[in-house]
Amino acid sequence: MQRHLPFERGVNFRDFGGYDTADGARVKWRKLFRCGHLAKLSESDQATLESLQLGFVCDFRSERENEKLPPRLSAALMERRILLNIWPKSSRTIGDMMRRLAAGEITDEEIYHGQNVIYREFVTDFAAHYGRMFARLLQAEGQPILIHCTAGKDRTGLGAALILSALGVPEGVIVDDYLISNGCPILREEIFAIVRRSHELKADDEPRFMRLLGARADSLHAAFAAIAQTSGSVDGYLADSLGVSARDRDNLRRWYLEA
The residues that are catalytic are 149
Residue 108's alpha-carbon distances to 11, 104, 120, 187, 244, in angstroms, are 25, 10, 19, 20, 37
Q: How far apart (Å, rounded) are the C-alpha atoms in residues 215 and 179?
A: 6
Largest CA distance in the chain: 55
Q: What is the 3-state secondary structure (H, E, C) of 189-224?
A: HHHHHHHCCCCCCCHHHHHHHHHHHCCCHHHHHHHH
| 141: three-class secondary structure by DSSP | coil
Q: How far apart (Å, rounded) are the C-alpha atoms in residues 93 and 256?
A: 35
**First vs last C-alpha separation in the chain:** 16
Task: Specify the DSSP element, H or E, that contains 14.
Answer: strand 14-15
3-state SS of the chain: helix, strand, coil percent to 5?
55, 10, 35
